[in-house]
Amino acid sequence: MELDINKLENDFQARIDAGENIEPKSWMPEKYRKTHIRQISQHGHSEIVGMLPEGNWITRAPSLRRKVGLLAKVQDEAGHGLYLYSAAETLGISRDELFHQLHTGKAKYSSIFNYPTLSWADIGAIGWLVDGAAIINQVMLTRTSYGPYARAMVRICKEESFHQRQGYEMMLTLCAGTPAQKEMAQDALNRFWWPSIMMFGPRDEESPHTEQAMKWKIKLKTNDELRQQFIDITVPQAEILGLTIPDPDLKWNEETGHYDHGPIDWDEFWQVVKGNGRCNKERLGARVKAWDDGEWVRDAAMAFAEKKEKSKEAKKAS
Ligand code: FAQ
- Mean pLDDT within 94-114: 97
Which residue from 203, 53, 189 is spatially nearest to 129, judged by alpha carbons? 189
pTM listed for this prediction: 0.95
- Whole-number Å distance between alpha carbons of 45 and 130: 15
pLDDT at residue 299, as a whole number: 95
Please give the radius of gyration of the chain, using alpha carbons only, rounded to the nearest integer: 22
Convert the pLDDT of each residue in 4-37 to its tens digit. 899 999 999 999 999 999 999 999 999 999 999 9
CA distance 251 to 260: 5
Q: Can you give the pLDDT at residue 179?
A: 98
Q: Is the CB of 41 under 6 A from ligand 1?
A: no
Predicted pLDDT of residue 318:
81
The alpha carbon of 42 and the centre of ligand 1 are apart by a number of angstroms equal to 7
Convert the pLDDT of each residue in 267-298 to its tens digit. Answer: 999 999 999 999 999 999 999 999 999 999 99
What atom of ligand 1 comes closest to residue 209's alpha carbon? Answer: 2
Quickly state the pLDDT bin for 91 (edges 50, 70, 90).
very high
* pLDDT for res 2: 59
CA of 199 from ligand 1 middle (Å) equals 7
> How many angstroms separate the alpha carbon of residue 91 from the centre of ligand 1?
19
pLDDT digits (tens, 9 = 90+) for 140-197: 999 999 999 999 999 999 999 999 999 999 999 999 999 999 999 999 999 999 999 9
Angle at 193 between CA 190 and CA 197, to 5 degrees: 160
- Residue owning the nearest CA to atom 19 of ligand 1: 108
Give residue 57's Cα distance to chain centre.
20
3-state DSSP assignment of residue 186: helix
Q: Is the pLDDT of residue 1 over 60?
A: no
Q: Which residue has its alpha carbon closest to ligand 1 atom 27?
A: 134
Question: 101 pLDDT exceeds 60?
Answer: yes
- Ligand 1 neighbour 110 (Cβ under 6 A): yes
Residue from 247, 259, 266 nearest 204 by CA: 266
Contacts of 261 (CB under 8 A, 6+ apart): 197, 231, 247, 249, 250
Q: What is the mean pLDDT of the chain?
A: 96
Q: How far is the CA of 245 from the centre of ligand 1 (A)?
A: 23
Q: What percent of the chain has pLDDT over 70?
A: 99
* 208 pocket-lining for ligand 1 (C-beta < 6 Å): yes
Kindly give the distance from the C-alpha atom of residue 101 to the centroid of ligand 1, in angstroms, as a whole number: 15
Q: Is the pLDDT of residue 300 over 80?
A: yes
Q: Which residues contact 67 (CB under 8 A, 6 or more apart)?
A: 58, 61
